[in-house]
Amino acid sequence: MNIKRKIFSISSILISSFILASSALALEYQWKFVISELKDKNSAVAVFEVLQAVPGVEDIDINILRKSTFVFFDDELTDENKLKRHLQKAGFTVEKMQVMVEPKEGIM
């Protein structure tokens, strides 16, 4: 291999390593939202649709009996305050927000 090819190969490896390392720094959170209007199947579907439309939301678990919604999300794309704003904009009252799972590095 000539010197230019070696330098190009090394550069490509370094760039690829950097891209992989930076994507491994993404954090995943789980937050619990208590929503007073969460009373039946229709309201659960509405909450699910609002949250599902937010980029970065990975998983949603709704418990109608406890009026709570658990949301896993990627912190590089959204945060708990954005989720709350989306819910409020759709007419839901977020009574309480609580982090349930601390961030885990390298999930995404």
Please state the pTM of the whole predicted model: 0.70
Residues 44-79: tens digit of each pLDDT: 999 999 999 999 999 999 999 999 999 999 988 999
Which runs of E-coded beta strand occur in 5-93?
27-35, 57-63, 68-74
* Token couple for 68: 């709570």
Q: Could you tell me which CATH class the domain 26-103 is placed in? A: alpha beta
Residue with tokens 């937050």: 31
Residues 16-26: tens digit of each pLDDT: 444 444 444 55
pLDDT at 96 over 70: yes
* Token couple for 12: 């490509």
* Token couple for 1: 């291999």
